[in-house]
Amino acid sequence: MKELFRVDDRVILITGASRGIGFAMAEALAEYGAHVILNARDENALREKVRALTERNLKATYQVFDVNDFEAGKNALRRIVGEFGHLYGLINNAGIQFRSPILDFSNEDFELVLRTNLTSCFSLSREAIRLMKNNGGGRIINTVSMLGPQARPTVPAYISAKEGLRALTRALAVEVGADGILVNAIAPGYIATELNTALLEDQEFSEWVISKTPLARWGQSHELGGGAVFLMSDAGSFVSGQVLSIDGGMSIQV
């Protein structure tokens, strides 16, 4: 039987992969045979996570860079191709949140969230596409959010960036599809990660999440792994420009 979900020896860079959703996606991809390259800014955290994978005989290395340093991102991609000969996949997953009432929300904070959660994805994707074209194709996954099509107060920059990233997903999918490059997005619901520490500690908010989620609980990082494997594997070979919601059904509940 054809092993539709294998991603053997596909070289895949995952940004923001030292913890949370990014690490969970990297771990799942490595378990299905990929060589994963973990990115974040904290080298110690990356070293520790790569060790956890390689101790299980999974294939993993890391590249330290800040996604806001576009030149550093480009150089990391070049190093990857220099070392492995190709880049099959890119997951634009690094992201930050910033919460503030609108009247106190500065332009600088707005722009930092936009740069981290959207512009960096554009820049890294462009450089990855350059390399993927030379190699006959590839895959890009952008981590978006339920927020974008839906809104909540105090997070205007995050909502704007994630909605922009959905649009970028479609824009790239139509431009590079004929080159064999498939571009999709994954939209997590409320997942119990460090990004949501403040929300998890707020009992009232946490209970609101549970009441609004048809599966009646928060999601766990490892539940994002299957979607990433699907979209990086032959199982996803005719899927492009789509958003896969992994949110316990929250986005379809009124």
Q: Which of 113, 103, 124 is nearest to 160 (CA)?
A: 113
Q: Which is nearer to ligand NAP, 31 or 66 (CB)?
A: 66
Q: Which of 97, 93, 155, 156 is nearest to 120 (CA)?
A: 93
116 part of the interface to ligand NAP, by CB under 6 A: yes
194 part of the interface to ligand NAP, by CB under 6 A: yes
Q: Which is nearer to ligand NAP, 87 or 165 (CB)?
A: 165
Of residues 49 through 108, those in contact with ligand NAP by CB under 6 A are 66-68, 93-96
Q: Which is nearer to ligand NAP, 41 or 59 (CB)?
A: 41
Q: Which of 37, 33, 40 is nearest to 12 (CA)?
A: 37
Distance CA 110, CA 96 (A): 11
Closest distance to ligand NAP from the beta carbon of 162 (Å): 7
212 part of the interface to ligand NAP, by CB under 6 A: no
* DSSP letter string, 186-252: EEE-SB-SGGGHHHHH-HHHHHHHHHHSTT-S-B-GGGGHHHHHHHHSGGGTT--S-EEEESTTGGG
Distance CA 181, CA 15 (A): 19
CB atoms within 10 A of CB 17: 30
114 part of the interface to ligand NAP, by CB under 6 A: no
Active site residue 158: yes
Binding part of the chain for ligand NAP, among 53-61, 81-89, 183-191, 237-245 by CB under 6 A, reads 183-191
Q: Which residues pair with 191 in a beta bridge?
A: 219
CB 36 within 8 A of CB 14: yes
Q: Which is nearer to ligand NAP, 4 or 167 (CB)?
A: 167
* Catalytic residue chosen out of the listed positions 62, 88, 158, 190: 158
Closest distance to ligand NAP from the beta carbon of 142 (Å): 9
Q: Sketch the per residue contact string, 2 through 41, with ligand NAP: x for CB under 6 A, - otherwise.
A: -------------xxxxxxxx----------------xxx
Q: Where are the alpha helices (DSSP H) in 85-119?
A: 107-114
Closest distance to ligand NAP from the beta carbon of 74 (Å): 14
Catalytic positions: 158
